[in-house]
A and B are shown apart, each in its own frame.
Chain A
């Protein structure tokens, strides 16, 4: 009999008991009446018997053990999955963290040194900068209501150069000349180059210089820039320049009792101002002045950039002692 796919499918399903009762009855009827169908059914059944009778194979006796070992191997591999790429990545990450930590420590050390230089107590106490301009003969009372003691500085001298740039050149020039005299300072030399530059060679006591700076503090907002260059104690070192210097900083530098101390303070301020200028906003956390510290350390006022500030009034106490400080004031005109 020629194989008929539809019949074979029907007979195959019949053998497997996968037909409905109606279909099953139909196949039985066909096989009973058609010898060809009956023969084909017998062929297929015998063929199926051959494969159904194949003896079942048994799994290896150690299959369970093999499975356990395989799982153990996998677990071990998962516990130590360090690939070379991943290990390299971890090392790189740790290295970067170490470098970042070292950089932070270095920065903190530098800042700490700078702050220590600024706030370190001065032997004999710090100077008092402010006094009233309206009543120069009376000392300004301190917070406790008592009079501020007069500053007596015994030092080896201060030498520096203050460069001020302003658009209000004429009025400032007049103001500076007048204040030099008012503060009891000696104007050793005065030179001018046209109407754009004026140089004053001022000499006197440190207190006198401080009074002059305090007076300039009142017009400090008129300066576009201010830089103080402080000469070193010996000629081998290089001068240090404080950019964007404030009147308070100048006072603190001038008031130190030795050239060396002034120079160190100036160096510290120079570093601090550079750091402050590099910070967005240009401000440091405020540290208020106390009796033992030299200077309040707070928002560092910068000419023009920090906005108007309280004028620092000068005392008009006569200069004491011999010449201890010299300051070259360079006034430069800027155009707006």
Chain B
């Protein structure tokens, strides 16, 4: 899963060059290549499918408008995610109060099966099976809600690392922060997520 971020740059430079020369097909190929990843990251960060679609659209429009100014100092992949993540963080900060109220209103308790799987996740006895997690729709919803309870900077590093699969250097580039900050922020975010999950089981 973590290999996918490393393998997506193969043809980017060619497509970007063609886009800069006015080749709209090349730009369409870039959009089609990244639209799901961008949408997925934005959705996990903001939690609302409509907002995510709108933000993804806005991010790509911005990329198209700015492609002439892209100099290739960073990879297109990190440049694209930087635009998308910045837009999403700004959006989240604007609507943070609304999101908090929404979460409070929708607070749910896991049912029996979900509680069992969740206990396994939090157990230190044995490793949890990822397939089991993926099959439990309710557990997935629970995990998404946990994510939304983190503050935006911590949420961003978790999403970029554990969901998008970026390495620390890429995260540092996307968020424009130091590598050490990525390390410490991610560690704190994971600790906080565990505490939030444990609180759900009580």
Contact = CB atoms under 8 A, between A and B. Distances in A.
Contacts of B131: 53
Interface of A: 3, 5, 8-9, 11-13, 16, 18, 39-40, 42-60, 63-64, 66-67, 70-71, 74
B168 A18 contact: yes
B38 interface: yes
Contacts of A59: 35-36, 38-40, 53, 56
Contact of B158 (A39, A45, A51, A58): A51
Contacts of B21: none
Contact of B197 (A11, A47, A49): A47
A53 B121 CA distance: 11
A18 B162 contact: no
Contacts of A16: 161, 167-168, 186
Contact of B193 (A47, A53, A54, A63): A47
Interface of B: 1, 28, 31-32, 35-40, 43-44, 49, 52-53, 56-58, 60-61, 64, 120-128, 130-131, 133-134, 139-140, 143-144, 147, 158, 161-163, 167-168, 183-184, 186-188, 190-191, 193-194, 197
Contacts of B134: 53-55
Given A13-B183, A53-B133, A64-B28, A47 B38 contact: no
A42 B163 contact: no
A48 to B, nearest CB: 6
Given A50-B143, A53-B133, A54-B133, 5 more contacts: A16-B161, A55-B140, A56-B36, A57-B43, A63-B56
Nearest to A62: B53
A39 B38 contact: no
B190 A48 contact: yes
Interface of A: prevailing SS: helix
Contacts, number: 138
B36 A47 contact: no
Contacts of A3: 191
B40 to A, nearest CB: 5
A46 B183 contact: no
Given A18-B168, A47-B194, A49-B133, A5 B61 contact: no
B143 A12 contact: no
A194 to B, nearest CB: 90
B40 A56 contact: yes
A11 B186 CA distance: 11
Given A46-B121, A50-B121, A52-B162, A58 B133 contact: no
Contacts of B162: 48, 51-52
A42 B39 contact: no
A55 B138 CA distance: 12
19 contacts: A12-B183, A18-B168, A42-B123, A42-B126, A42-B127, A46-B123, A46-B124, A46-B127, A49-B128, A50-B143, A51-B162, A52-B1, A55-B134, A56-B163, A57-B40, A59-B36, A63-B57, A63-B60, A71-B61
Nearest to A45: B127
Nearest to B141: A54
A52 B197 contact: no
Contacts of B58: 70
B121 A49 contact: yes
Give the interface centre of B61, B131, B168 by most chain A CB atoms within 10 Å.
B61
A66 B58 CA distance: 10
A317 B109 CA distance: 132
